[in-house]
Amino acid sequence: MSAISTTAAKTETDQYAVIGNPIEHSKSPEIHARFAAQTQQNLQYDRLPAPLDGFLATVQGFVRSGGKGLNVTVPFKLEAYALATTLTERARAAGAVNTLKFDGGNMLGDNTDGVGLVTDIVRNAGIAIANKSVLLLGAGGAARGVILPLLGEQPARLVVANRTHAKALDLARRFSAQPRLKVCELAELEDTFDIVINATAASLASEVPPISPRVFGAQTLAYDMMYGKEPTAFMRFAKQHGAIARDGLGMLVEQAAESFYLWRGVRPETAAVFAELRERL
């Protein structure tokens, strides 16, 4: 009897999902299905829609059904942060959680966005961040999630620019012990940077943040966290002014790989998954 139970336990399929509202557009199930096949992990990954006022109840139901982990997308990253019983350093710095791991009664909250961004820039694009001048556009949740990993790469400076100085200052106070971090308003930007990262929502409306083209040089990497079939308005603007443009599809794949590693202890290869997603856009 015990032998049968042990075999059943070994063959049980672990359950994971991405939770959000809306969630139908998410490519996470495709990505994690490919990671699981590649690493021979026995898991099922689904979309988990939650009512705007029902995040907690939906997570609790998922855990009761045996769920092992969740990716968290808009608009629930702050609620996930509050729900987690243990937080990684990068989740605490971001003030938001995009990955939950359930282990007994513990809910570990992590934020893998920044690692995904840094890995895509440094490894996939082949552009070092160390000793470079980096400009981060925006001071919202997307920006908060990447500041600590960016600073971990030892840039010469990291400037966070936002429409309103007050919001940028609020963000800077979270990282007050980081001397390389500076803040300003978008309108104040005059310098040229080695790397410019768009963490604003402007691309969702096919708009360009109100910045001077002087931020771009001939070798500047202009990185938009958004992605799509065609280059974003920010990417087109940057290329018009001599920059090298890259979208955030690689960040999406790499942050998923970091979540997968947190859950399974196995790090998947991302290149083939990225290429397949790019072809299918």
User: Model confidence at 11, in pLDDT bands (50, 70, 90)?
Assistant: low
CATH number for the domain including 28?
Answer: 3.40.50.10860
173 is in an annotated binding site: no
Per-chain mean pLDDT for the chain: 92
State the total domains in the chain: 2
166 is in an annotated binding site: yes
Closest C-alpha to 224, from 254, 253, 194, 244:
244
pLDDT of residue 6: 41
Active site residue 68: no
212 is in an annotated binding site: no
Cα dihedral across residues 49, 270, 88, 157: positive or negative: negative
pLDDT tens profile 63-110: 999 999 999 998 999 999 999 999 999 999 889 999 999 998 899 999
pLDDT tens profile 134-156: 999 998 888 888 999 999 999 99
Question: Catalytic residue among 77, 101, 132, 239, which?
Answer: 77
The range of the structural domain enclosing residue 66 comes to 2-111+251-280
Residue 186 gets which letter from DSSP?
G
Are 128 and 35 contained in the same domain?
no
229 is in an annotated binding site: no
Are 77 and 190 contained in the same domain?
no
Contacts 24+ apart (CB under 8 A), 236-244: 237/208, 237/213, 238/196, 240/213, 241/213, 241/216, 242/216, 242/217, 242/218, 243/196, 243/216, 243/217, 243/218, 244/219, 244/220
Other CB atoms within a 10 A radius of the CB of residue 247 amount to 24
Are 84 and 40 contained in the same domain?
yes
User: Out of 68-72, 169-173, 182-186, 253-257, which region has the weakest mean confidence (pLDDT)?
Assistant: 169-173
Instruction: Give the integer Cα–Cα distance in Å for 140 and 197.
Output: 13
Omega within 30 of 0 (cis) for the link into 268: no
- Is the pLDDT at 1 greater than 70? The verdict is no
Are 104 and 155 contained in the same domain?
no
Are 140 and 49 contained in the same domain?
no
- Is the pLDDT at 2 greater than 60? The verdict is no
Report CA-CA distances (Å) from 20 to 71, 79, 102, 191: 9, 11, 18, 38
Are 38 and 71 contained in the same domain?
yes
Are 140 and 71 contained in the same domain?
no
Are 214 and 264 contained in the same domain?
no
Q: Provide the percentage of residues in the chain whose pLDDT is more than 90.
A: 79
Are 50 and 94 contained in the same domain?
yes
Query: What percent of the chain is helix, strand and coil (3-state, nearest 5)?
Result: 45, 20, 35
Are 213 and 262 contained in the same domain?
no
3-state class of 83 per DSSP? helix
Are 132 and 182 contained in the same domain?
yes
CATH number for the domain including 118?
Answer: 3.40.50.720
95 is in an annotated binding site: no
- Is the pLDDT at 249 greater than 60? The verdict is yes
